[in-house]
Amino acid sequence: MKQIQMFTDGSCLGNPGPGGWAAVLRYGDTQKEFGGGFSGTTNNRMEILAVIEGLSALKEPCSVALYTDSQYVRNAVEKKWLDSWQVNGWKTAAKKPVKNKDLWTRLLPLLSKHSVRFHWVRGHSGHPENELCDTIARDHASRPGLPPDIQAE
Protein backbone atom coordinates (compact mmCIF):
# COMPACT_ATOMS: atom_id res chain seq x y z
CA MET A 1 0.00 0.00 0.00
CA LYS A 2 1.38 3.40 -0.98
CA GLN A 3 2.33 5.74 1.87
CA ILE A 4 0.92 9.22 1.21
CA GLN A 5 1.30 12.45 3.14
CA MET A 6 -1.71 14.73 2.79
CA PHE A 7 -2.04 18.29 4.05
CA THR A 8 -5.39 20.10 3.97
CA ASP A 9 -6.89 23.43 4.91
CA GLY A 10 -10.10 25.34 4.47
CA SER A 11 -10.58 29.08 4.53
CA CYS A 12 -13.54 31.41 4.63
CA LEU A 13 -13.52 35.18 4.08
CA GLY A 14 -16.33 35.81 6.51
CA ASN A 15 -18.14 32.87 8.05
CA PRO A 16 -20.34 32.34 6.15
CA GLY A 17 -18.81 33.94 3.11
CA PRO A 18 -16.69 33.04 0.12
CA GLY A 19 -14.54 30.04 0.98
CA GLY A 20 -11.76 27.93 -0.38
CA TRP A 21 -10.20 24.55 0.27
CA ALA A 22 -6.78 23.14 -0.50
CA ALA A 23 -4.99 19.82 -0.44
CA VAL A 24 -1.35 18.92 -0.94
CA LEU A 25 -0.54 15.28 -1.65
CA ARG A 26 2.98 13.94 -1.38
CA TYR A 27 4.20 10.53 -2.49
CA GLY A 28 7.97 10.17 -2.41
CA ASP A 29 9.41 13.10 -4.35
CA THR A 30 6.11 13.85 -6.13
CA GLN A 31 3.85 16.60 -4.83
CA LYS A 32 0.43 17.67 -6.13
CA GLU A 33 -1.27 20.89 -4.98
CA PHE A 34 -4.89 21.73 -5.75
CA GLY A 35 -7.91 23.58 -4.41
CA GLY A 36 -11.31 25.06 -5.12
CA GLY A 37 -13.86 27.46 -3.74
CA PHE A 38 -17.50 28.42 -3.26
CA SER A 39 -19.48 31.51 -2.42
CA GLY A 40 -21.70 31.56 0.64
CA THR A 41 -20.07 28.70 2.51
CA THR A 42 -18.50 28.08 5.92
CA ASN A 43 -15.01 27.36 7.13
CA ASN A 44 -16.02 23.94 8.48
CA ARG A 45 -17.46 22.93 5.11
CA MET A 46 -14.22 23.92 3.39
CA GLU A 47 -12.15 21.97 5.94
CA ILE A 48 -14.21 18.81 5.32
CA LEU A 49 -14.20 19.33 1.55
CA ALA A 50 -10.40 19.64 1.51
CA VAL A 51 -10.13 16.16 3.04
CA ILE A 52 -12.76 14.73 0.66
CA GLU A 53 -11.06 16.15 -2.42
CA GLY A 54 -7.60 15.07 -1.27
CA LEU A 55 -8.68 11.49 -0.61
CA SER A 56 -10.76 11.40 -3.81
CA ALA A 57 -7.65 12.23 -5.84
CA LEU A 58 -6.02 8.95 -4.79
CA LYS A 59 -6.56 6.33 -7.49
CA GLU A 60 -6.05 3.27 -5.28
CA PRO A 61 -6.31 2.45 -1.57
CA CYS A 62 -3.46 4.15 0.28
CA SER A 63 -2.07 4.61 3.76
CA VAL A 64 -2.52 8.33 4.38
CA ALA A 65 -0.90 10.48 7.04
CA LEU A 66 -3.33 13.41 6.99
CA TYR A 67 -2.25 16.73 8.50
CA THR A 68 -5.02 19.24 9.29
CA ASP A 69 -5.50 22.24 11.53
CA SER A 70 -9.21 21.39 11.88
CA GLN A 71 -10.06 19.89 15.26
CA TYR A 72 -13.64 19.57 13.97
CA VAL A 73 -12.69 17.18 11.17
CA ARG A 74 -10.09 15.29 13.18
CA ASN A 75 -12.37 14.82 16.19
CA ALA A 76 -15.35 13.77 14.08
CA VAL A 77 -13.29 10.82 12.89
CA GLU A 78 -10.94 10.04 15.78
CA LYS A 79 -13.44 10.58 18.60
CA LYS A 80 -16.00 8.55 16.63
CA TRP A 81 -18.51 11.40 16.39
CA LEU A 82 -19.30 10.19 12.86
CA ASP A 83 -20.17 6.74 14.19
CA SER A 84 -22.44 8.21 16.88
CA TRP A 85 -24.14 10.56 14.45
CA GLN A 86 -24.98 7.69 12.12
CA VAL A 87 -26.30 5.50 14.93
CA ASN A 88 -28.41 8.44 16.16
CA GLY A 89 -29.94 9.07 12.73
CA TRP A 90 -27.60 11.99 11.98
CA LYS A 91 -28.50 13.77 15.21
CA THR A 92 -26.00 15.21 17.67
CA ALA A 93 -25.91 14.23 21.33
CA ALA A 94 -28.18 17.25 21.87
CA LYS A 95 -30.67 15.68 19.38
CA LYS A 96 -30.07 18.42 16.79
CA PRO A 97 -29.43 17.67 13.11
CA VAL A 98 -25.74 17.18 12.30
CA LYS A 99 -24.39 20.06 10.23
CA ASN A 100 -22.68 19.23 6.94
CA LYS A 101 -24.25 15.78 6.68
CA ASP A 102 -23.92 15.92 2.89
CA LEU A 103 -20.13 16.18 3.21
CA TRP A 104 -19.78 13.68 6.04
CA THR A 105 -21.63 11.08 3.97
CA ARG A 106 -19.21 11.73 1.08
CA LEU A 107 -16.24 11.35 3.42
CA LEU A 108 -17.29 8.04 5.00
CA PRO A 109 -16.60 5.73 2.01
CA LEU A 110 -13.22 7.42 1.48
CA LEU A 111 -12.27 6.69 5.08
CA SER A 112 -13.21 3.04 4.45
CA LYS A 113 -11.21 2.88 1.24
CA HIS A 114 -8.00 4.36 2.68
CA SER A 115 -6.13 3.82 5.91
CA VAL A 116 -6.11 7.39 7.29
CA ARG A 117 -4.20 8.61 10.35
CA PHE A 118 -5.07 12.15 11.40
CA HIS A 119 -2.39 14.51 12.68
CA TRP A 120 -3.37 17.90 14.05
CA VAL A 121 -1.15 20.91 13.36
CA ARG A 122 -1.66 24.35 14.83
CA GLY A 123 -2.87 26.70 12.10
CA HIS A 124 -0.90 29.83 11.24
CA SER A 125 2.08 28.60 13.24
CA GLY A 126 4.66 28.38 10.46
CA HIS A 127 4.07 24.73 9.48
CA PRO A 128 5.22 24.93 5.82
CA GLU A 129 2.61 22.69 4.23
CA ASN A 130 -0.23 24.10 6.34
CA GLU A 131 0.82 27.61 5.33
CA LEU A 132 0.90 26.51 1.68
CA CYS A 133 -2.59 25.04 1.96
CA ASP A 134 -3.82 28.21 3.66
CA THR A 135 -2.43 30.32 0.80
CA ILE A 136 -4.05 28.09 -1.85
CA ALA A 137 -7.40 28.03 0.00
CA ARG A 138 -7.43 31.81 0.50
CA ASP A 139 -6.54 32.33 -3.15
CA HIS A 140 -9.51 30.24 -4.22
CA ALA A 141 -11.82 31.95 -1.71
CA SER A 142 -10.94 35.37 -3.13
CA ARG A 143 -11.55 34.50 -6.78
CA PRO A 144 -14.47 36.26 -8.50
CA GLY A 145 -17.43 34.30 -9.78
CA LEU A 146 -17.31 31.41 -7.31
CA PRO A 147 -20.18 28.93 -7.64
CA PRO A 148 -22.65 28.87 -4.76
CA ASP A 149 -22.36 26.19 -2.07
CA ILE A 150 -25.99 25.14 -2.28
CA GLN A 151 -25.75 22.86 0.77
CA ALA A 152 -24.25 25.44 3.17
CA GLU A 153 -26.23 26.04 6.31
pLDDT score, position 12: 96
Share above pLDDT 70 across residues of the chain, in percent, rounded to a whole number: 99
- The answer regarding whether domain 2-141 maps to CATH 3.30.420.40 reads no
HEC string for 66-108: EEECCHHHHHHHHCCHHHHHHHCCCECCCCCECCCHHHHHHHH
pTM of the predicted structure, to 2 decimals: 0.95
Provide mean pLDDT across the span 70-81. Answer: 96
pLDDT score, position 150: 84
pLDDT score, position 125: 82
Q: Is the pLDDT of residue 97 over 90?
A: yes
pLDDT score, position 105: 97
User: If 0-12 CB within 10 Å is exposed, 13-18 middle and 19+ buried, where does residue 77 land?
Assistant: buried
pLDDT score, position 123: 79
Spatial CB neighbours of 21, under 8 Å, sequence gap ≥ 6: 8, 9, 10, 11, 35, 36, 37, 46, 47, 49, 50, 53, 137, 140
> Which residue(s) pair with 8 in the sheet?
23
Domain ranges of the chain: 2-141
Give the residue numbers annotated as catalytic, written as ranges.
9-10, 47, 69, 124, 134
